[in-house]
Amino acid sequence: MRLCCVAAWLAASLFTFAAVAQEYPTRPVKMIVTFPAGGAAAETDEVELVRRAAVDAAATAALYERYVARVYRFLRVRCSSSDEAADLTQQVFLKMAEALPRYRERGAPFAAWLFRIARNAAIDHARRQRGTVPWDSLTQAAAPDDVEAWVLDRETRARVGALLAALSSDERELLSLRFAAGLSSREIAAVVGGSEAAVKKRLTRTIQRLKEQSNG
């Protein structure tokens, strides 16, 4: 199995993107604050969009729409239920809205800044819970019509979950930032600290080790 295929397999299987992506639209994050609809949703220049969001609620709404699914997926693999992940996602975007007037780019992408907020929220949540989320618990989804394919898929994801559970928490975090949050190596480096080269090297080694263990 080629390394690129393993990456795709990780994205599809081990973080149960299919299950989470299907679940998410039916369980929308309900914001305590509401943002008016506006043309900012079509904004393509993120730097300008972020600048406007500090003073424009419609631009803030556009940022929310742009990132909410990725933030939710990142938090979902660190929470024991979709409800917890939705609540935590809401908290992240409320914190984002509060902090936007103080945001300065300083060489780091906006996504890195936002996911630092999400990462800190996840760490605080884990400390309060004082427990860990079994990775195979994220493979639960309603059975489709093709039960045989669903059973095989569950078995695959359970095997992947066992491999993930054997990784260090830092390695799992890198994988969740890469595949659940969809961040680049540069953005991940800005979130966790360190160099882009070091993040790429560690991700490659981790994925390669998972591939070897899955074939073993």
CA 70 to chain centre: 5
Delimit the domains of the chain by residue range.
Answer: 3-215
pLDDT at 130: 63
- Where do the H-state alpha helices sit in the chain? 3-9, 17-23, 46-53, 57-76, 82-99, 110-129, 147-165, 169-175, 185-192, 196-215
- Kindly state the tokens that stand for 187: 């953005």
AA identity, residue 3: L
CATH code at 3-215: 1.10.1740.10
CA dihedral 11, 75, 157, 133 (to 10 degrees): 150
pTM of model > 0.95: no
Give the pLDDT of the chain (216 residues) as one tens digit per residue. Answer: 444 444 444 544 444 433 433 344 334 444 433 433 443 343 348 888 898 998 888 889 999 999 999 999 999 888 888 899 999 999 999 999 999 988 887 777 899 999 999 999 999 988 887 655 555 444 444 444 554 554 456 666 677 777 888 888 899 899 889 988 889 999 999 999 989 999 999 999 998 888 888 776
pLDDT at 185: 93
